[in-house]
Amino acid sequence: MLRVEKLQIRRNHKTVLADVTLDLQPGEVLGVLGPNGAGKSTLLGALCGELKPDAGHVWLDQRPLSEWGGAQRAQRLAVLPQTSTLDFAFRVDEVVGMGRLPHQTGRVRDDEIIEAALHAADVGHLSGRSYLALSGGERQRVHLARVLAQLWPGEAGQTLLLDEPTSMLDPLHQHTTLQSIRTFADRGAAVLVILHDLNLAARYCDRILLLEEGRPHALDTPLQVMRPEPLKAVFGLDVLVQPHPERGHPLIIAR
């Protein structure tokens, strides 16, 4: 479990993130929403240990995040940044296999996990191709497969942090990607995902953290957060909110 208490991050003498307290629970998908510059990627940087808090604390399984060694941390915490690049012509299955480096599970088991992660991210058909020959959306899905392989099959005590995993994807693969993330969480892993699409967040997330100028505006279920008043306050957007006619989750329609 990942826990944050009164987190604060400063850059160039300016506070860019403050007053963030949350528990990321096993089996949960927590969506982080907010306009550009709201502090979403800064939060993810603090949660994965890339940024050192200026105040507050981050714990992984009741131990300070800073006390975890690299390999130990990588077996429990995987991160998909906003952009992931490789400049070498690795095969797709080799890129996904990089997620297995922190583990000592053997070649046979690693190959099984790589294949399962490839199919979970809907890139099994790309397995033998050169990474450099892929489109931007295909590369994004390959890197998703890599971080899924790092924690596969997903269980309580493991945490997956994702920064805009659907940003370059077509509508079909936006849904298949988030469905695979949802399935991963259902096995017990905790997932935090930064999203821009309000309707995708409402459909796939258990809770939503709404950030405004580096501070939490709301943290609750989609039903409580995805209402016209908070969305207007944070995004400046006038919306209608109705129950989805089949699934029941909030459906956000711009006026």
Instruction: Give the pLDDT of the chain (255 residues) as one tens digit per residue.
Output: 899 999 999 988 899 999 999 999 999 999 999 999 999 999 999 999 999 999 999 999 889 999 998 889 999 999 999 887 788 889 999 999 999 999 988 999 999 999 999 999 999 999 999 999 999 999 999 999 999 999 999 988 899 999 999 999 999 999 999 999 999 999 999 999 999 999 999 999 999 999 999 999 999 999 999 999 999 999 999 999 999 999 999 999 999
Q: What is the pTM of this model?
A: 0.95
Q: What is d(CA 108, CA 48) in angstroms, rounded to the nearest whole number?
A: 29
| Tokens at 1, concatenated | 């479990």
Tell me, what's the pLDDT at 86?
Answer: 83
- Are 12 and 20 contacting, i.e. CB atoms less than 8 angstroms apart? no
The residues facing 55 across adjacent strands are 8
How buried is 206 (Cβ within 10 angstroms: 0-12 exposed, 13-18 middle, 19+ buried)? middle
The CATH label, of 3.40.50.300, 3.30.450.40, 3.40.470.10, 3.40.50.10470, for the domain at 2-87+157-254 is: 3.40.50.300
Tell me, what's the pLDDT at 85?
Answer: 77
- Are 151 and 66 contacting, i.e. CB atoms less than 8 angstroms apart? no
- Are 7 and 216 contacting, i.e. CB atoms less than 8 angstroms apart? no
- Are 241 and 248 contacting, i.e. CB atoms less than 8 angstroms apart? no
Tell me, what's the pLDDT at 213?
Answer: 95
Residue reference for tokens 């998703």: 144
Tell me, what's the pLDDT at 104?
Answer: 85
Residue reference for tokens 């990321």: 24
DSSP letter, residue 157: T
| Tokens at 255, concatenated | 């006026």
Who contacts 33 (Cβ-Cβ below 8 Å, separation ≥6)? 40, 194, 195, 196, 198, 201, 208, 209, 210, 211, 225, 234
